[in-house]
């Protein structure tokens, strides 16, 4: 077992990235370089989170000798290109969802991951590593707890705490100054990959296929944008990304189906329920806990309650930064979580003691817990191999790879098409790049034809 | 105020009817005659519930001089004809949902209700009278609590207690002998009006339009039958009615929408949540209680908790039958309800003390409470007028009439078409009877054409 863990270079200053960095640090992975779109953003974040190097030059991070692992969470339309380039240079890549506004945007990273199979190329969907989801998958696919899967129901309310901070029609009190300056960014723009369907639908589609082992063959959906202007996005600017969507998927070939509702319009706490029903019973993931009931039982059983979640998150609070300045309190059920800052000044939050609060506003508890578990597995994967560039795939067997990601983005594309055309759409994975010049290719075909 | 309340004639021996009769009695309305499809069924039910006259002849009930009000809850494909005939004879009619397998089947009763506007012709959708729903409607339409309605979410799990008793794949312990004999009936047959979409989707569509004041203009949906054979329906017989459906409706013309999931496949308790979200906040009906939250509030408020429900239902238990033999205990939240029989023998349940249990298995608490409130309003409507045939429409202003019912059935038809054709369908109300001979009418049009 080696002692030296890889150095990390991070791309992006999204709220998700603000979660990843402290967790990476708490896992013992050093974050050595940060890239952001503008120099101000890069400087501010590197100071907040204590990262030595900050830049707006992609290559400066990628070519840094200390960087072995690249973590990407920035505007979706550039993620695939950074990921592909990083793999080409020989760096491991963790990329967050969504990986592109459209499925074809993810193709460069998919192809790169095929060319460099020995490099780590994984999606950062923490939900797959949530212990309840791990157990749910085992119960469905190995123990046959639910029998043959018939119906999946997913219901997510992102709540008024504002998973899309910018999009709340009313001014939010808890917003940190670093976010309030970004009045309009990619999250407001459908063409750049914003919207609940793209940002969170992907996680759900991925988890459903992971848990049930079934992939969507056909989809129909309804995608809507209700809030088009807010206090901070007004005048000639308009939000084009969706804030409500629901869609149905036909799963596999035996008639199973799934219905998914993603709603960022409902005031209230974050709420997520994933139910998988089968011929023998059902499993329900509520927050981070797993419940189950067979058809012949009168009451449901709590199959997994995650007591470790508290420990993990506290470890994160204590481990990242100097001293145990931030602690997270989980009160009552999983949904009510408060971040409390017990000391006024730490290296993590030198100028803004409130910055941890937006982290949990951005990433609900189950997702955050899952990411903690996943990044621990990333650490284990590197620790189990002595060779500097090597890693052991076994701890990360549950992770989504870039092929899974391509499937997910294809499903989301199909949902958008279905909503636009008001009819259901078959899910077809076409993993070749589109012809660069369709006229030319048609002309060529015609000329080839005339030879006969 | 008159003392003499109208006599009631009832049609059908459905589980719903087994709820109505004791409630009617507890409201002081005398049930004098009962019609059922077979003599055995009629005899058994009249003995169980103490009804003097039982018959299989529709006219014998309709022409009975003591009968002023007709309550119909039988196989949907014959309800409209009985309702139309009853109105023609001059009787008031309460008809339960669904009123037909298809919308065109309801046309006879719709037309009859237009011909006899002074007679009561109402649908028995208790949910409209549930105090929480009454308040919800007022808050949405009068107080502007949610602002402009944007999204409605409805989620119903009918639970393992078996709203479709016959359709449970495993044998149910609490089933009364009177049901276990009916191995295959209209609830198993899609063409006769069975299925969760028709039996319960109608209530939801009706309540949504009642609460929001918006009607569906376009729908898409997914209707599925997962359990095709059970212990009691096997061999060459197959269940064709759906046991899962989800559908989306575009509401009104301002872009509002609703998504509805009805699932009888999930083991567990009955669960119903109806959420109406708008630009200013949201309202959520959970069971029979109403919660609300504005966008600028941190927590949700309990806006209506129904303490009267317990009283009402106990009154029902005490009032129908001789003595207070049956009492209903509501334990904990609304979803856990047990019927306890404290005496072994009453006139209500002479041979089968367990018969009340299937009532609650059949009609979940919020529906049952709503029906109690509605039938109290029916009593008030008759009590406020001295004239024997007269009634006061005011207490029943919230009730759905036959026109509402026609709208509801049209929406359900459209959902079925949408599911079959895999594309969204415009909701068009066509309230004329279809041409009896399309060839003839085409020929006539052609001949008229040739005259010019």
pLDDT in tens, B160-195: 544 444 344 333 333 333 333 346 777 888 888 888
Q: Give B-chain residues touching A423 at CB under 8 angstroms.
A: 422-424
Q: Give A-chain residues touching B259 at CB under 8 angstroms.
A: 222, 246, 259, 261
* Mean pLDDT, residues B104-127 taken together: 94
Query: What does the alpha-carbon distance between residue A185 and residue B51 come to, in Å, rounded to a whole number?
Result: 71
Q: Does A295 touch chain B (CB under 8 A)?
A: yes
**CA quadruple A412, A416, A417, A418: dihedral sign:** positive
The minimum CA-CA distance between B422 and chain A, rounded to whole Å, is 5
Contact residues for A187 (Cβ-Cβ < 8 A; gap 6+): A164, A166, A167, A194, A195, A199, A241
Q: What count of other Cβ atoms lies within 10 Å of the Cβ of residue A430? A: 11
Q: Quick one: angle between helices B76-89 and B107-115, nearest 10?
A: 20
Confidence band for B35, pLDDT divided at 50, 70 and 90: very high
**What rounded mean pLDDT belongs to chain B?**
81
Q: Give B-chain residues touching A222 at CB under 8 angstroms.
A: 220, 248, 257, 259
Confidence band for B437, pLDDT divided at 50, 70 and 90: low
**What pLDDT does residue B431 have?**
75
Contact residues for B304 (Cβ-Cβ < 8 A; gap 6+): B131, B132, B135, B136, B289, B290
* b/e map B304-319, b = 16+ CB within 10 Å: bebeebeebbbbbbee
Tokens of B86: 């009853």
Q: Give B-chain residues touching A275 at CB under 8 angstroms.
A: 266
Of B151, B169, B266, the CB nearest to A277: B266
DSSP, residue by residue, B131-176: HHHHHHHHHHHTS-TT-SEEEEEEEEE--TT-TTGGG-SS--TT--
Q: Does B270 touch chain A (CB under 8 A)?
A: no
Find the closest chain A residue to B298 by CA distance: A268
pLDDT > 70? residue B90: yes
Residue range B296-335, pLDDT digits in tens: 888 889 998 876 544 444 444 433 333 333 334 333 333 3
Say which residue, A237 or B27, is predicted with more confidence.
B27
Residue range B351-403, pLDDT digits in tens: 333 334 455 556 788 888 899 999 999 999 999 888 877 899 999 999 999 99
Lowest-pLDDT range, A379-388, B31-40, B260-269, B309-318? B309-318
Ordered mean pLDDT values, 10 residues apiece, chain A (452 residues): 80 89 92 94 92 94 95 92 95 92 92 94 94 96 94 88 42 34 71 86 95 96 88 79 93 94 89 94 93 88 73 41 34 34 30 43 81 94 86 94 94 95 93 66 60 47
**What pLDDT does residue B401 have?**
94
* Mean pLDDT, residues B415-435 taken together: 87
Q: Give B-chain residues touching A248 at CB under 8 angstroms.
A: 222, 246
Record: contact B151-A294, CB cut-off 8 A: no
Task: Examine the predicted complex and report whether its ipTM is higher than 0.95.
Answer: no
**What pLDDT does residue B158 have?**
84
Of B170, B248, B268, the CB nearest to A300: B268
Of B261, B295, B422, the CB nearest to A153: B261
Record: contact B248-A222, CB cut-off 8 A: yes
How many beta-carbon contacts under 8 Å exist across A and B? 115
Of A168, A246, A266, the CB nearest to B259: A246
Find the closest chain A residue to B269 by CA distance: A299
Query: What does the alpha-carbon distance between residue B371 and residue B394 come to, in Å, rounded to a whole number?
Result: 17
Name residues 176-235 of chain A within 8 A of B (Cβ). Answer: 218, 220, 222, 224, 226
**What pLDDT does residue B362 have?**
65
Record: contact B257-A222, CB cut-off 8 A: yes
Find the closest chain B residue to A149 by CA distance: B226
Say which residue, B174 or B8, is predicted with more confidence.
B8
Residue range B137-148, pLDDT digits in tens: 999 999 999 999
Say which residue, B421 or B343, is predicted with more confidence.
B421
**CA-based nearest residue to A68, from A394, A399, A405, A389:** A389
Residue whose entry in the numeric block shows the structure tokens 């009045």: A183
The minimum CA-CA distance between B294 and chain A, rounded to whole Å, is 7
**What pLDDT does residue B442 have?**
65
Record: contact A226-B150, CB cut-off 8 A: yes
Tokens of B250: 């575009």
**In this structure, are residues B276 and B258 in contact, taking their beta carbons and an 8 Å threshold?**
no
Find the closest chain B residue to A422 by CA distance: B424
């Amino acid at each position: 077992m080696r002692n030296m863990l890889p150095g990390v270079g991070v791309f992006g200053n999204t709220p998700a990235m603000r979660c990843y960095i402290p967790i990476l640090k708490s896992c013992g992975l050093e974050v050595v370089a940060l890239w952001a779109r503008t120099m101000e953003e890069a400087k501010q974040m590197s100071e907040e989170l204590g990262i030595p190097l900050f830049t707006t030059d992609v290559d400066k991070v990628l070519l840094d000798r200390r960087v072995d692992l690249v973590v990407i969470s920035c505007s979706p339309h550039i993620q695939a290109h950074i990921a592909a380039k990083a793999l080409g240079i020989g760096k491991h890549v963790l990329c967050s969802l969504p990986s592109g506004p459209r499925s074809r945007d993810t193709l460069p990273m998919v192809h790169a991951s095929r060319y460099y199979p020995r490099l780590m190329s994984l999606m950062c969907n923490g939900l797959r590593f949530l212990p309840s989801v791990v157990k749910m998958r085992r119960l469905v696919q190995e123990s046959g707890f639910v029998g043959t899967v018939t119906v999946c129901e997913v219901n997510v309310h992102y709540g008024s705490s504002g998973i899309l901070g910018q999009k709340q029609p009313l001014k939010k009190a808890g917003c940190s100054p670093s976010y309030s300056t970004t009045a309009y960014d990619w999250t407001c723009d459908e063409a750049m990959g914003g919207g609940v369907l793209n940002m969170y639908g992907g996680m759900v589609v991925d988890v459903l296929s992971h848990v049930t082992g079934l992939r969507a063959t056909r989809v129909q959906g309804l995608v809507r944008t209700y809030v088009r202007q807010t206090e901070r996005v007004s005048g000639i600017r308009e939000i084009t990304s969706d804030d409500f969507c629901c869609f149905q998927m036909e799963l596999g070939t035996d008639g199973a189906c799934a219905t998914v509702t993603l709603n960022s319009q409902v005031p209230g706490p974050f709420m997520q329920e994933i139910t998988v029903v089968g011929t023998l019973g059902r499993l329900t993931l509520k927050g981070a806990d797993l419940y189950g009931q067979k058809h012949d039982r009168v009451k449901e059983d709590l199959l997994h309650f995650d007591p470790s979640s508290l420990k993990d998150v506290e470890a994160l609070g204590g481990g990242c930064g100097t001293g145990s300045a931030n602690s997270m309190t989980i009160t009552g059920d999983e949904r009510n979580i408060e971040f409390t800052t017990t000391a006024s000044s730490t290296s993590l939050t030198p100028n803004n003691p409130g910055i941890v609060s937006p982290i949990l506003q951005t990433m609900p508890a189950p997702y955050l817990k899952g990411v903690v578990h996943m990044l621990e597995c990333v650490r284990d994967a590197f620790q189990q191999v002595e060779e500097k560039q090597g890693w052991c795939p076994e701890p990360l067997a549950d992770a989504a790879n870039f092929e899974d990601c391509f499937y997910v983005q294809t499903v989301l594309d199909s949902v958008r098409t279905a909503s636009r055309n008001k009819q259901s759409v078959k899910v077809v994975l076409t993993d070749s790049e589109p012809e660069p010049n369709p006229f030319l290719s048609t002309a060529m075909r015609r000329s080839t034809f005339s030879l006969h």
